A and B are shown apart, each in its own frame.
Chain A
Amino acid sequence: MTEQVFHDAPHDRPDRLGWYASRVAIYGMLLLWAAICLFPIYWTITTSFKAAPDVMKGALVPWADYAPKWLGWKSLGLSPDTIGSESTVRQEFMLRFMNSTVISLTSSAAAVVLGSLAAYGLSRFSYKFLWMRNPDISFFFLSQLILPPVVLALPFLVLYKELALLDTRIGLILLYTLSVLPIVIWIMRDQFSGIPHELEEAALVDGLSIWGAFLTIVMPIALPGMVAAFILSLVLTWNEYFFAALLTSTHANTLPVMVASQTGSQGISWWSMAALSFAAILPLIVVGVLLERYIIKGMAAGAVK
């Protein structure tokens, strides 16, 4: 063993203590914020298994602090012993759930179709409509984003009343499609401008029509972007409350409206509200955990040029 002759200067040596300190600080902050994000969800799940005394005690940990009971889920008709039997509450819940599912899926799909077509057209061809050219048309679509829903709400209320679209799924689907369309166009425009147009030129030379080239060549490449736009639209439409609260009353209510209508009543039964809230947020939690990649891709699309 020979003795080491050359050393780093003291100030170049790695500062072990400082490194550990910064690690601890970073992980500490990460864990703190993760707790802030996850605790409300945890609280909602556990509350749905509590009974009145457990809620009053503010019990936190199941099995240790209190014995979990199916009280909340029973009130929704979704606990193991009630799931086999008839339940009006469950029917009501399932109806709202189906409304939310149908409305959000349909409107997201419609927005992705309309928005992708428009974004593709705007990224490839030049249009002229009256005085408007491509940038103006793009701006026309994107400017819809700043339109606050409240401006459209009351005129739509009156229009839908005349058109017998009040309290129908179609009425909500139309509005939701409209509200997510600018976001889809924004994401998709970015996607299409990243695809080299030589690809379509080759396809056109080989005898495909413009639409053929779009459907068989461009769309498969842009599919991840379309999925991202679809998921983001899904999140926004599933959670939408304002239009749903104004324009529906009995038939087309979505889940957020159902959750909101329960909170107002006197003497809230905490466990059933917790079960209902959790059932309302569960689909999106699943989507978020499984498809996180796409959501991030969608939101990052416009940020980085």
Chain B
Amino acid sequence: MAETGDLLHVVTNDDISPGRRAFGKAIVWASLALLAGTAVVQTLDQSGTLSLGLPNWRPTLYAYILFSVCLCWSQVLVRGEQGKRVLFVLPAALFVISLVVFPLIFGLIIAFSNWNLSSPDGRQFNGLDNVRQMWADPFYWNALGNMIRYLLAIIVEYAIAFGLALLLNAQIRARKFFRVAFLLPLMLSPVAVSWMVGKSMLEIRFGPISRLARFLGWDNPTFFSSPEMARLTIMVLDAWTYIPFMMIMILAGLQAIPKDVQEAARVDGASPWRGFWEVTFPLMLPVSITAILIRIIFKLKLADIIINLTSGGPGGATDSVTSFIYREYRDRSNVGYGTLLAMVYLVLIIVFMTVLMKIADRWMRPKY
């Protein structure tokens, strides 16, 4: 959808003096040299060759910030009007690169080392040991399996969200009240939800949901003792928080469908049921796929509720990958192994999402 080619054409006479250009180049190289110099000095200091006794790497960080500022400034100095345009994207790009690409590269190094933060030995490169350990770790595979189950729950969430969006799109009174009420779960922090609902309302003796369950004839309601039940509870809680998200997107899609399409179907004698399946639903397909894809992305990060409610139990039955790695770090402070697991997860996600987006792209293309 992004067009190429400038939409705005500006004719300026950039007469940039050689001095200004030279100054612009000079500050970039000078600040880069300063950055490199600081980094080298700090590395030497760390390895013990120099003894400056710097407590941390802050000086290098400041040098890096200075370099970034100089880089942005020099764009305008050297390239004039063109530089001012680059200035729109450059800060965000530098920000993301420094906060994602560097840590990722750094993470790759950590992933292949044995590094226990609580042990005094520090980082030791251990090759593929972590991979071998991962291969034999049943809990990690179990967590990956759980993620698939959690992802499958999205289908049900989608159906409910679609139903709610249809209800909100119908001719009803007090639409604003219902919209706000339906939206509220999304605003609540998952941690608070896991206490409010998970710990308090599902309390076996006097939680209102347990009492309702007993009233409905379930003698001994327990929500976290059997693996299936615990997993289901987590799914329901997570669904409760995120259904509004899909609902709003689908509602926006429904409101964008012109009314006359439905009317035409009705005039042609379609029952509401067929009108929905053969007119509304196909028209909603692109929006649905976007909503589901975003929901999948959010679901892959699922952790807060699990960490707070079950901490993976019983026996790892509710673990998501994120919560498993979190505990791996909290309990054993094993940074190296945890990072490797996270990296493998990232690769799996990228492959999975790429395939999914390719399939979705094919589906979304209009057939007629």
Contacts and interface: CB of A to CB of B under 8 A. Distances in A.
Given A151-B107, A242-B326, A157 B335 contact: yes
Contacts of A41: 184, 188, 196
Contact of A151 (B168, B178, B342): B342
Contact of B84 (A210, A242, A288, A292): A210
A32 to B, nearest CB: 10
B358 to A, nearest CB: 14
Contact of B208 (A38, A60, A292): A60
Contacts of A214: 88
A163 B201 contact: no
A303 B290 contact: yes
Given A158-B106, A260-B308, A44 B200 contact: yes
Contact of B195 (A246, A273, A304): A273
Interface stretch (B13-21, B56-64, B222-230): B56-64
Interface in B319-368: 321-322, 325-326, 329, 335, 338-339, 342-343, 345-346, 349-350, 353
B192 A34 contact: no
A246 B117 CA distance: 13
A58 B208 CA distance: 7
A122 interface: yes
B93 A30 contact: no
B179 A150 contact: no
A141 B2 CA distance: 13
Interface centre among A33, A155, A174, A241 (most CB of B within 10 A): A155
A268 B286 CA distance: 47
A239 B184 contact: no
A114 B187 contact: no
A125 interface: yes
Interface in A240-297: 241-242, 245-246, 255-257, 259-260, 263, 268, 270, 273-274, 277, 280-281, 284-285, 287-289, 292, 295-296
B248 A117 contact: no
Contact of A256 (B185, B191, B287, B343): B191
Interface string B1-14: 11111111110000
Interface in A34-84: 34, 36-41, 43-44, 47, 55-58, 60
Contacts of B240: 36-37
B84 A209 contact: yes
B178 to A, nearest CB: 5
B103 A292 contact: no
Interface stretch (A1-9, A90-98, A197-205, A219-227): A197-205
Contact of B182 (A33, A57, A163, A268): A33
B245 interface: yes
B235 interface: no
A16 interface: no
Interface in B190-213: 190-197, 199-201, 205-208, 211
B256 A150 contact: no
B252 interface: yes
B301 interface: yes
A19 B272 CA distance: 13
Interface stretch (B30-38, B94-102, B129-137, B274-282): B94-102
B56 to A, nearest CB: 4
Contacts, number: 318
B44 interface: no
B189 A238 contact: yes
Given A56-B205, A260-B308, A281 B188 contact: yes
Contact of A135 (B2, B106, B286): B2
B365 to A, nearest CB: 14
Contacts of B193: 40
Given A137-B89, A154-B335, A277-B195, A164 B303 contact: no
Nearest to B11: A204
Contact of A296 (B104, B183, B190): B183
B346 A124 contact: no
B181 A150 contact: no
A26 interface: yes
B186 interface: yes
A292 B179 contact: yes
A65 B2 CA distance: 61
A121 B87 CA distance: 8
Interface string B166-187: 0110101000111111111111
24 contacts: A30-B167, A34-B181, A58-B207, A121-B86, A123-B7, A124-B7, A125-B85, A126-B6, A137-B89, A141-B93, A152-B107, A158-B110, A163-B58, A164-B56, A242-B303, A242-B326, A257-B191, A263-B194, A263-B308, A268-B199, A277-B195, A289-B184, A295-B183, A302-B290
Given A121-B85, A164-B55, A268-B199, 16 more contacts: A39-B208, A44-B196, A115-B92, A121-B88, A125-B7, A137-B93, A146-B350, A155-B104, A158-B117, A204-B10, A210-B84, A242-B304, A274-B200, A287-B187, A303-B249, A303-B291
Interface of B: 1-10, 55-58, 61, 81, 84-89, 91-93, 95-96, 99-100, 103-104, 106-107, 110, 117, 163-164, 167-168, 170, 172, 176-197, 199-201, 205-208, 211, 240, 244-245, 248-253, 256, 286-287, 290-291, 294, 297, 300-301, 303-304, 307-308, 321-322, 325-326, 329, 335, 338-339, 342-343, 345-346, 349-350, 353
Report the 5 A-B pairs with minimum CB-CB distance, sorted nearest first. A121-B88, A300-B252, A118-B92, A239-B189, A155-B107
